A and B are shown apart, each in its own frame.
Chain A
Amino acid sequence: MRELAYLRPSDPADAVSLVANDPDARFLGGGTNLVDHLKLGVATPGTLVDVSHLPLDALEEHDGGLLVGANVRNSDLAADRRVRTGWPVLSRALLSGASGQIRNQATTAGNLLQRTRCVYFLDVTTPCNKREPGSGCSAAEGYGRYNAILGAGPACVTVHPSDLAVGLVAVDATVVVLGPDGERRVPAADLHRLPGDDAARDTVLGHGELITAVELPRSAHARTSTYVKVRDRASFAFALVSVAVAIDRAEDGTVRDLRIVWGGVAHKPWRATRAEDALRGRPLTEAGVRDAAEAELDQARPTAGTEYKPAMVRNATALAFRRLVPDLAEEAR
């Protein structure tokens, strides 16, 4: 590990200027991702600016919804009574991720900005455009089981690993960011980006931009929401694919509004807008949900390693709907 300076500012604005004015500096949150990368040589900053002690740990009513401070730990967000009833998809997504110990340590902001688990990204002896722009992408021709099937390439074919990020898109969350030029607000759906020809940047944030909070607006669809995660073992594993569904139905069962967001399929949480459009304004049926997923998957480009993903994400989507809508479960039986 490279020689490292450590700073612990007590004010968010100071933290921002310390990083913004030093290309070699990085924010440190709970450390569960960044400390791992320091050990692996994947991250080689000269200075760490510890933001985990900044007073950004509010979890409070705000504008009819909830304001979640950047330092709220994953375990505390998942366990909050208001989140469990008003935004259950977030509790479900968080509880399906990592372990009890890691959730106690990991922060809201750090979770969103965790980096890919692509095996080549984590192995400094192999080419990887994300770690070393221009060096090539080992995963495109290599071990591809975890690769993206939507919006991939040309520079990078990996997926974003965060479960929380997928849930936040389904509830229309907004990320509050403090930068050298002041505050700005980024919809959770626009935080992460597709790789295009620039694999190095996971998100739209610039160097020195600090996430200070996440805003959760209250909505009928957020209240009826859930998260389904499919993985190689029953617990403590990243998603092969995952699905966040949030739905608001009229008395007669017609879909008033909904969100379908997929994880494990793209470089960002993938909002399945085509699938949503196919279901909005109509009564729900199991067949309708499957057809809607299929319409979205028209754009999918699976490769040899990921041939299993389209069917898996379609079935996981149907399962998520069955969990939320009991009559669908009846129909499927």
Chain B
Amino acid sequence: METTIELTVDGERRSLTVDTRTTLLDALRERLGNTSPKKGCDHGQCGSCTVLLDGRRHLTCLALALSYDGAEITTAAGLARDGLHPVQQAFLDHDGYQCGYCTPGQVCSAVGMLDEAAGGVPSHVTDDLAVPTTLEDLDDGEIRERMSGNLCRCGAYPGILAAVREVAGA
């Protein structure tokens, strides 16, 4: 079954016809030619396909494109439209990658995560749930926990941690 949907991707409104079974990841990469989100595991387990969807970090591999008709998506490429995003600059400054395959997902995840923390969202390692968190609470333990949905096979974690810590300003 084929259906036409509309997506706004990195600021551009795009219309495309997809099969029911097409994932958002395949729609972005194979149909719209946006190869910024990466297919790592295709099963929700690695985070390399992460984008910002309607402002929040979101996987695209376990999402059927049809269900997201009308959504607004920002990929890591879109974050760099008007010059590098501070998170991207920090990844450069701190060697937050080696091969770079996980990086677009890491970057989108970090941007979404920083927003969550600034908005008071707690994490598994937050001691007191009654107190809303702020960016200042993002110590290494908090950053590691909140970024745990993004794996890096190159093991660039120390650089990723340093980059996110710098942007958080903690």
Stretch with Cβ within 8 A of B (4 or more), from A57-65, A78-86, A172-180, A195-203: A78-86
Name B's interface SS.
Answer: loop
Q: Is B63 an interface residue (CB 8 A)?
A: yes
With a cutoff of 8 Å between Cβ atoms, the chain B residues found around residue A312 in the complex are: none
With contacts defined as CB atoms under 8 Å apart, how many contacts are there between chain A and chain B in the complex? 106
* Cβ-defined partner of A52 (8 Å) among B3, B56, B67, B130: B67
Query: 0/1 per residue, A90-103, Cβ < 8 Å to B?
Result: 01100110111110
Contact between B149 and A102, CB atoms less than 8 A apart: yes
Contact call B129/A6, Cβ cutoff below 8 A: no
Say which one of B74-82, B94-102, B117-125 lies at the interface with A. Answer: B117-125
Q: A168-187: contact bitstring with B at CB < 8 Å (1 yes, 0 no)?
A: 00000000000000000000
- B88 proximal to A (CB < 8 A): no
- Are B149 and A85 closer than 8 Å at their CB atoms? no
A84 pairs with B3, CB closer than 8 A: no
Do A95 and B21 have beta carbons less than 8 Å apart?
no
CB-CB nearest in chain A for B151: A236
Q: Is B31 an interface residue (CB 8 A)?
A: no
Find chain B residues with CB under 8 A from A264 CB: none
Q: In the complex the two chains form, is B58's CB within 8 Å of A104's CB?
A: yes
**How far, in whole Å, are A47 and B150 apart by their CA atoms in the complex?**
32
Is B103 close to A, CB under 8 A?
Answer: no
Chain A, Cβ-Cβ closest to B23: A35
Q: What is the minimal beta-carbon distance from B143 to any residue of chain A, in angstroms?
A: 11
* CB-contact partner of A101 in B23, B50, B120, B132, under 8 A: B50
CB of A167 within 8 Å of the partner chain = no
Docked pose: A222 CA to B56 CA in angstroms: 30
A127 on the B face (CB < 8 A): no
Chain A residues with Cβ under 8 A from B144's Cβ?
234-235
Residues on A with C-beta less than 8 A from B135 are none
A-B contact pairs, 20 of them (CB 8 A): A5-B1, A6-B64, A28-B67, A31-B62, A31-B63, A31-B67, A39-B42, A48-B20, A53-B67, A88-B129, A91-B129, A95-B126, A99-B150, A100-B112, A100-B116, A100-B147, A101-B50, A105-B63, A234-B145, A235-B148
Chain A residues at the B interface, C-beta cutoff of 8 Å: 1, 3-6, 8, 28, 31-32, 35-36, 38-39, 48, 50, 52-53, 75, 78-79, 81, 84-85, 88, 91-92, 95-96, 98-102, 104-105, 234-236
